[in-house]
Structures are given as structure tokens and as C-alpha cells.
Structure 1
């Protein structure tokens, strides 16, 4: 069972990372595709944190003096968290552990999909897309195999949830978009057997557990956890 659910998560990461490899670029540096696109590019996994300074500009006052203005990231402030019992506290700290482990990968998938979508569209047929995807599989899988081996089952489930958070769509829909309904359905069935649902929803506004995940993810992004 352990090998099976890790294979499933490996496949999901492989899909996203292989798409990024099309462009042969680091995830954090968008660039146009070139003739080296058949090589596997350096795909980086960050910390999942949001940079506190998003940008800057200069403001000129009436006297002609320029002042540097920094554009700061939004800051979310939460009230102190009170646990009803020991079980809730254990759930919280387990969530902290799992979010820290998986949030960078969820962001990687989101950024990769955004940055490479236009390049993928240059393939005239679905067959050519799949052939190129298969070509990338071996190298990308080997690149992420060491990290994926350390994922627990709860972290695999958390990754699926955070992918939904970052992309605003389920892992199932992502696979369906790139691989078709049949293969997406196969992986959904495969995942359900081992307790991983690719159609997992994310509703922090109405689901208490998802609200905790959102709180933790936000605090991790702000560097407060």
C-alpha cells in the first residue's frame, strides 16, 4: 500500500514537473521556449513563503524629490487559536508538519502549469503532447524520487488538498485536462483504493479542518510558522 500511494503522488508531480520541463526553465524564471526544450530543465522547489516585498516604484513630489515606495505583501492576522481538547491540538500540529512538507510542491505545480500552458499549446496534436510527456518521465521521476519517498500517507492527502488551494481546481481535473478522462479516471480509482481522492475539495470558509489548513498555509507563507 505504501508503494502504491507514493506511486500515485509521484505521477501527479511528474505530470506537473514534466510540463515545466517542456520549456527547459526554472519554475521561478519564465522564459520563451527554445530549441533545447527536449532536455529536462532545472525545476526548483522553494520554501512556500511569500516574499514580504512584492515590488517598488518611485514617487516624485511637488518639489521634484523622488521617494522610494515599497509594495508590501498582504498580511493576514489571526486571533489566538484555542483548542477544545488534546485531539484538536494534535491535529493542528500534524497539519503544520504536513503543510510545511507539501506546500512548496503544491506551489511548484501551480506555477509550472501557469508558465508552460502556452508552450504546451504549440504541440499540434494530443499524441505529440503525450509522446513528449513520456520522454520527460524518466528524468523527472528520478529527480523527485528521493523527496517523494519521505511522504507519509497524510502528506500525500495534504498535497492533493493544497493543489486545489493553489490552482483552484482538483488534481483530477488537472490530470483530465492534460491526459484525458480515461486516464484521469484510472488514477482516481487507483487513488481511492489507497485512501487518496484526487477530487478532494477545499472549502476553508465552510469546513473547519480546511479552515485550519488555510490558517497554517497562510502563516507558513508569511514566515510565521
Structure 2
């Protein structure tokens, strides 16, 4: 009798586990599918739920922002000017992020010093061409914001980038020239100190993917 007292619960547990396993291993192709119409042409994912295949679509994140209020008209105008300047230079910072990221990737693929110098020279030429074509038209304020945004996107200051690609002496010369016109290539980005810029970037839609 003692044997049966232990044997029967064991059999029940084994049967339940087998039934659960059989249920879990149901072929999804054998389950009923949603009825589609002639205009249902978009392929979506299906998930098995309670014996049926349920269609679903992953939705992008939606951010909702409150309408900002300003203490005065002067504050509103100042914020709008800052927003204009940030959105003006943000594409250049993102370009620098992509271009220097590609440079680091290319440099990591070769150990040949001559080839590395060619890669650096090509990158430097692209940056200079963009400078001569567009960036030279930026105002001093926009240039100051750009140097901060480059540090935000690339993770290094403009001075560090020039030093790595062109050498310490060139970085010193570039910094000296930049200081004359009111820039500082060593400017770092701090989301707390630059919280106005950060809020503009977050609400701009650049990272809604």
C-alpha cells in the first residue's frame, strides 16, 4: 500500500507533464489562422495563444511632450534662437559621428601604416570639403554648439579627434586659431549643464527610430 501511495501521485505527475508537453508542441501550422480580406497585404508576425494564431505588429515608441511655458517673451525668443542653432548644426555632428566611426572601423581592419595614413587623409579631406562648403558659414554661437555636440555624439572633443588624426602639433595650431574666433575645441558636453540643448535634441525627432 505504501508503494501505491507514492506510485499513483508519480503517475499523475508524469501524465500531466506529458499532456502539457504535447499541448506545447502543437504544430502552429495546424492552428486556425485569422481570416484576411483582399486588402490585407501586409505580412505581420503571429503568436500562438490559447489555440489560435494571433497577429501582432511591433509599434515604435511614442513620446509625448508637454507644451513649454516661458517666464517672459525674451526667454521664449532666446530658446527659439537656441533651438534654431542646435537644429542647424546637429546634422554636422551626426555626420562627424558616422564618418569617424567609419574611420575607426577601417583603421582597425589594417595594420599597414601607409594604408592607415591614406585612410586618415581621405577622412580629413572629406571633413575639410564639408567645412569649405557649409560649416564656414556658421556663426560663432553655432560653432560653439557644434563642438559640444561633436563631443556628445563621438564621445571625444574636437581637439582629441584632431590630435588623434593629425597629431598634437596640428591640434595645438587648430585650437589656437579657434580661440581667436571665440571657439574652444576642447569644449565638452554635459547633459546637466546643457540641459536646454539636450531637451531640444531629445524632442527633435533625430532619435525616433
For this structure pair, what is the TM-score category when the shorter chain's length is used for normalisation? 0.5 to 0.7
Question: TM-score w.r.t. structure 1 length?
Answer: 0.60
Gap runs ≥5 in structure 1:
1-56
1:177 is matched with: 164
Gap runs ≥5 in structure 2:
1-43
Asked whether 1:216 is paired with 2:203, we answer no
Number of matched pairs: 165
After the TM superposition, which residues 17-96 of structure 1 pair with which residues of structure 2 at under 5 Å, given as runs? 58-62=45-49, 63=51, 65=53, 67-73=55-61, 75=63, 77-96=64-83
My pick for the range that moved more, 60-69 or 170-179, is 60-69
1:199 is matched with: 186
In proportion to residue count, which structure has more helix? 2
Deviations 1:95-147 (A, max 9, x none): 11111111111111112222342212234355543344335655664456332
2:146 is matched with: 159
Question: In structure 2, what is the Cα distance between the partners aligned to 1:81 and 1:194?
Answer: 34
* Greater RCO, 1 or 2 (C-alpha within 8 Å, sep 6+): 1
CA contact (8 A) 2:120 2:165 kept: no
Question: TM-score w.r.t. structure 2 length?
Answer: 0.64
CA contact (8 A) 2:147 2:158 kept: yes
